[in-house]
């Protein structure tokens, strides 16, 4: 399963982690220097949500930003009880 929002299409993006050593000049050192650059990925904040899609209730993986924007129509809460619980 890909790390991609099913509504907005938001996916992972490339970036880098920069390692530095040394003491900053304004703190009395001779300056910081880059010692390593490591590739990494930034992933979207995906959530598994029960939503109404084409009139049916199903689980979808959407970004938290899509939920905040109101793009997701959440499924109604269950209000029925099983027969076994109703008899007791």
Give tens-digit pLDDT for 4-16: 999 999 999 999 9
- Say if 2 falls within a structural domain: no
- Say if 42 falls within a structural domain: yes
User: With 0-12 CB in 10 A as exposed, 13-18 as middle and 19+ as buried, what is 8?
Assistant: middle
Domain span holding position 65: 13-76
- Say if 43 falls within a structural domain: yes
Give tens-digit pLDDT for 18-55: 999 999 999 999 999 999 999 999 999 999 999 999 99
- Count of domains forming the chain: 1
pLDDT surpasses 80 at 87? no
- Say if 84 falls within a structural domain: no
Q: Which two three-digit tokens encode residue 51?
A: 């939503």
């Amino acid at each position: 399963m890909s790390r991609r929002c099913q509504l907005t299409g938001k996916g992972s993006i490339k970036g880098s982690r920069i390692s530095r050593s040394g003491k900053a000049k304004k703190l009395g050192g001779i300056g910081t220097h880059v010692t390593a650059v490591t590739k990494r990925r930034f992933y979207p904040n995906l959530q598994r949500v029960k939503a109404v899609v084409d009139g049916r209730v199903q689980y979808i993986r959407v970004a938290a930003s899509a939920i905040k924007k109101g793009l997701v129509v959440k499924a109604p809460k269950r209000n029925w009880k099983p027969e076994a619980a109703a008899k007791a």
